[in-house]
Amino acid sequence: MTLRGRLLLAQAPLALALVLLGVMAVVTLGRVGRSGQQILEDNYRSVLATQRMTEQLERMDSAALFIVAGDRERGVAQQAEQRPRLESELRVQEGNITEPGEAEATRRMRTAWERYRTEFDTFLEAPDAARTHDLYFKSLAPAFQDAKRTAAAILDLNQDAMVRKSELLSRQSQRVNTLMVLAVVAALGVGLFFSTSLVHRAVRPVMVLSQAVRRLGQGDYAARAVVDGRDEMAQLGRDINTLAERLDQYRQSSLGELLQAQAVSQAAIDSLPDPVVVLGAEGDVLNVNRAGEDVLRLRLEGGGDVLGRVVPEVREVLERVRAHVVGGHGAYQPRGYEEAVRVEAADGARWLLPRGSPVYGETGDVVGATLLLQDVTRLRRFDELKNDLVATVAHEFRTPLTSLRMAIHLVAEGVVGPVTEKQADLMFAAREDCERLQGIVDDLLDLSRIQGGQLLLDVKLVRTEELVESALDTQRGAASERGVHLLRDVSLDAETVSVDPDRMQLVLGNLVGNAVKHTQSGGEVLVRVTPEEQNLRFEVRDTGEGIPAEQQAKIFEKFYRAPGAPAGGAGLGLSIAKEIVQAHGGTIGVVSEPGQGSTFWFTIPKQA
Ligand code: ADP
């Protein structure tokens, strides 16, 4: 049955009770009404008839008295008028016998009336006044009294019956009253009881459904709505169950896929030989791969301050890279091997080079950082070996190179004997090459000394202007040879600077020399010094060929030479400059665009 049907059915008991009550009321009211009617029909008509008969009897009597009094004409007329009326009333009474004893009384009335009528006829035929008078008092008046009494008896009979019946009626109506009240209460009670229970049964499925939906809403996808039948509620229940099933399946499948995807990505990062740590924006450790657990001894189990349990150096590096990435500076790339952090592992020391990339949240903001600690132990070892080799080779080259140069010089100058012009040309070229070779060897030795940690700075307060001037002086010859103008612009606020003057001259000389080398004739090289908040900023600006962006990071590396760079260098000048600037606590960099010239800059702290 449909819900609408059920709700309608729930009204049925009340409606039925109402109908029953109505029928009952109509029937009982009809009965009471009929009882009243009955009284009217049965008795009131008789009462009326007897009263009228008594009245007509009395008027006949008064007619008789008229006659006795001598007014015969009027008396005769009056009595003649009454006779048919009385006759008809008597017939009415004879036709309305309802009470016990009434038939008998009426019969008596008929007898009494007939006797009175006969007596009256006799009275009318009386020959004279005396006889009339006599007859009246002797026979007519007693007959009159008799008839009147008989009529009164009928009247009493009927009046008594009326009183009796009306009492009965009132008792009856009182009973009906009580009965009706009881019936109303009972019908209301029963109707209400059945209606309520039917309504309850009709809406119970709604409760079941709403409970199921609530549990589904709370994430309990195992909840089902059990509603039997074929109505709308059962259909809704089935629909909800289908929905729950789908949700459950979806959750299971998406959860499964998610778990699988997570396992895959975990396996992927676990397979990396280098430690990987994922940090949240607040520095909490979100994930770590197996290498991370082993090498950094970083364990997620146990919770708490996970980072606090790793060695301080590693922790410091992780925090720094995370701060860089989370601070919105993009991915973190190390500047060089020198950034590698040393970690003691079971199989000896390891050098780890940190890299960081942002983890983006749903809204696109950085919510964490993935840190990769690249194991550069072997690379560093190679680097050290190379440095050692270079240092040894340079050192071993130095003495023979000096004597070679000396020998070539002596031969070229003709000290040890005459040489032809051609021989002298060859000797001069050889001497030039020897000098260049000596420069490279000097660079190499400088570098190996610097990298060996032997760069001891001899810091003095020097006049900036002089520093720049002497650096420019070393390059004047080359500049004028190439037709390049050298300019200088030292701010008045940058009068002095605390540096190791020889080393700083080397740096500036290197930068200016490079600038001159890479600038065409007619171009210019400007050295500028300007104060910054805490630093002095040195700039060497040229109007030369510029440096492509992809080379800019590499030119500070050792032995890096741009493809097609003019012969003569070993790719060491800029790396030496970088080492010296960093030893002074400053930073070095380049701003350049191909065809637009380059600006090499470095900073030196005002307070060394
Ligand atoms: P090198 O002594 O071989 O010049 P450097 O370390 O001084 O080595 O320079 C490295 C490379 O940087 C050079 O090969 C050159 O290509 C490039 N470079 C340096 N300075 C400039 C400059 N002012 N303009 C263009 N390229 C430059």
Q: How far is the CA of 514 from the centre of ligand 1 (A)?
A: 6
- Least confidently predicted of 25-39, 160-174, 313-327, 522-536: 25-39
Q: Residue 187: which pLDDT band, with cuts at 50, 70 and 90? A: confident
Tell me the average pLDDT across 480-496. 89
- Which class for 102: exposed (0-12), middle (13-18), buried (19 or more C-beta within 10 A)? buried
Query: Confidence band (pLDDT; 50, 70, 90) for 140?
Result: very high
- Choose one of 440, 514, 575 to mutate for the ligand 1 pocket test, by most ligand atoms within 8 angstroms of C-beta: 514
Q: Is the pLDDT of residue 84 over 70?
A: yes
Expressed in angstroms and rounded, the spacing between residue 556 Cα and the centre of ligand 1 is 9
Give pLDDT, residue 41. Answer: 79
Give the integer Cα–Cα distance in Å for 382 and 385: 5
Of the two residues 345 and 434, the one the predictor is more confident about is 434
Question: Which pLDDT value is given to residue 484?
Answer: 93
Q: pLDDT for 414-440, tens place per residue?
A: 888 898 989 889 998 898 888 888 888
Output the pLDDT for position 36.
80
Which is higher by pLDDT, 295 or 189? 189
Q: Is the CB of 555 under 6 A from ligand 1?
A: yes
Q: What confidence category does residue 141 fall into, taking pLDDT thresholds of 50, 70 and 90? A: very high
Q: Is the pLDDT of residue 451 over 80?
A: no
Specify the ligand 1 atom closest to the Cα of 572.
Answer: 6
pLDDT at 78 over 90: yes
Digit-coded pLDDT (tens) for 4-42: 787 888 888 888 888 988 898 898 888 888 878 887 778
What's the pLDDT at 312?
Answer: 83
Atom of ligand 1 nearest to the CA of 574: 6
* Residue 575 Cα: closest atom of ligand 1: 6
* pLDDT, position 54: 94
Lowest-confidence range among 13-17, 54-58, 455-459? 455-459
Tokens standing for residue 153: 């008896």
Residues 6+ apart with CB under 8 A from 130: none
Q: Which of 268-277, 505-514, 538-547, 569-578 comes out lowest in average pLDDT?
A: 569-578
Residue 608 has pLDDT above 70, yes or no: no
For the chain, the average pLDDT equals 88
| Calpha distance 599→483 (Å, rounded) | 19
pLDDT greater than 70 at residue 455: no
Distance 378 CA to ligand 1 centre (A): 28
Percent of the chain whose pLDDT exceeds 70: 98
User: In terms of pLDDT, which residue wins out, 301 or 147?
Assistant: 147
β-pairing, 524-531 vs 485-490, is: parallel
Q: What's the average model confidence in pLDDT over 58-68?
A: 93
Closest ligand 1 atom number to CA of residue 568: 3
Q: Which of 237-241, 334-338, 386-390, 483-487 has the lowest mean pLDDT?
A: 334-338
Please report which confidence band the pLDDT of residue 489 belongs to, taking 50, 70 and 90 as the band edges.
very high
Query: Which sign, positive or negative, has the C-alpha torsion 127, 131, 133, 134?
Result: negative
Assign 571 a pLDDT band (cuts: 50, 70, 90). Answer: confident
pLDDT value, residue 66: 93
Which residue has a Cα nearest atom 20 of ligand 1? 514
Closest-CA residue to 275 (of 347, 212, 356, 336) = 356
Which residue owns the Cα nearest ligand 1 atom 4?
569
Structure tokens at 547: 């440096």
pLDDT (0 to 100) of residue 251: 82
Distance between CA atoms of residues 245 and 506, nearest Å: 78
Write phi, then psi, for 346 (nearest 5 degrees).
-60, -35
CA-angle at 586, arms to 585 and 589, nearest 5° = 150
Instruction: Specify the pLDDT at position 33.
Output: 84
Taking 80 as the threshold, does the pLDDT of residue 350 lie above it? yes
At residue 453, does pLDDT exceed 70? no
Query: 244-265 pLDDT, tens per residue?
Result: 998 888 888 888 888 889 899 8
pLDDT value for 573: 87
